[in-house]
């Protein structure tokens, strides 16, 4: 029988599309801002700085993204700022909550296959209510023995997951698209890591992958997990 592992899955942009909706909201914001000199890339850089500061206290999710957009608008607007304008900016982010959950290709079939062979866990960060809503809408909850929603996916939260579920790092693998939140923290704690790149991964989740110690897999798509587990 194949060795049984603990397979820990990221959610956003691993199981389902996510950042594409935030990018769409950002494009709407840029058009509404209508800045006379700044390019979208330069506006994005300003927003990134705001998000880096605010994520430490506000966290993640669509509504917090909307608050960051409002702050960016107040900082960059070249016209008098009205309450209607701020509400309009917030609405770009609020629409994200109404988007359907679009599963990545091969996710349903692959989880069906893997859940009969290994213990599957879901490990995601973000606003608890928003993440729970996406999990419910996805229809994937039945595959997972445990789902954890945390404020940040860092060394401390990984250690707590290992402790709470009594997981052996040598038999555990983290699967995700984010070097910053999924791959590097797992490798640093002795877990295996499966990196499934996504072309629209949020810029603040990108970084160089640290030394893998021989326990890093890089796959082209989610369905390839069946060939390894």
| Judgement on whether residues 142 and 218 belong to the same structural domain of the protein | yes
Task: Output the pLDDT for position 57.
Answer: 86
| Judgement on whether residues 112 and 55 belong to the same structural domain of the protein | no
Boundary-marking domain end, from 98, 117, 152 = 98
Boundary-marking domain end, from 53, 71, 98 = 98
Residue 1 lies in a domain: no
Alpha helices in 13-171 (DSSP H): 19-33, 40-54, 62-76, 83-94, 107-115, 128-138, 155-165
Query: Mean pLDDT of successive 10-residue segments in the chain (229 residues)?
Result: 88 96 97 97 96 89 96 97 97 95 97 97 95 96 96 95 96 96 94 95 88 82 97
| Judgement on whether residues 90 and 117 belong to the same structural domain of the protein | no
pTM: 0.92
Which position has the token pair 């989880």?
111
Task: Output the pLDDT for position 211.
Answer: 67
Query: Kind of pairing, strands 146-150 and 119-125?
Result: parallel
| Judgement on whether residues 112 and 219 belong to the same structural domain of the protein | yes
Residue 140 lies in a domain: yes
| Judgement on whether residues 66 and 145 belong to the same structural domain of the protein | no
Task: Output the pLDDT for position 168.
Answer: 96
């Amino acid at each position: 029988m194949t060795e049984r592992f603990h397979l820990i899955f990221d959610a956003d942009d691993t199981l389902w599309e996510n950042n594409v909706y935030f990018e769409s909201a950002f494009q709407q914001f840029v058009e509404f801002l209508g800045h006379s000199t700044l390019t979208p890339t330069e506006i994005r850089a300003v927003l990134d700085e705001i998000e880096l500061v605010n994520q430490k206290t506000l966290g993640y999710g669509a509504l917090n993204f909307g608050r960051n957009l409002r702050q960016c608008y107040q900082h960059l607007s070249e016209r008098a700022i009205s309450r209607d304008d701020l509400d309009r900016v917030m609405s770009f982010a609020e629409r994200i909550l109404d988007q359907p959950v679009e599963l990545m290709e091969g996710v349903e079939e692959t989880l069906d296959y893997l859940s009969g062979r290994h213990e599957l866990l879901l490990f995601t960060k973000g606003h608890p209510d928003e993440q729970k809503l996406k999990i419910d809408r996805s229809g994937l909850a039945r595959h997972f023995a445990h789902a954890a929603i945390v404020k940040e996916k860092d060394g401390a939260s990984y250690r707590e997951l290992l402790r709470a579920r009594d997981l052996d790092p040598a038999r555990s693998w983290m699967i995700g698209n984010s070097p910053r939140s999924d791959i590097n923290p797992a490798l640093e704690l002795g877990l295996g890591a499966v990196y499934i790149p996504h072309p629209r991964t949020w810029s603040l989740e990108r970084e160089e992958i640290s030394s893998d110690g021989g326990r890093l897999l890089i796959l082209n798509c989610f369905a390839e997990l069946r060939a390894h587990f």
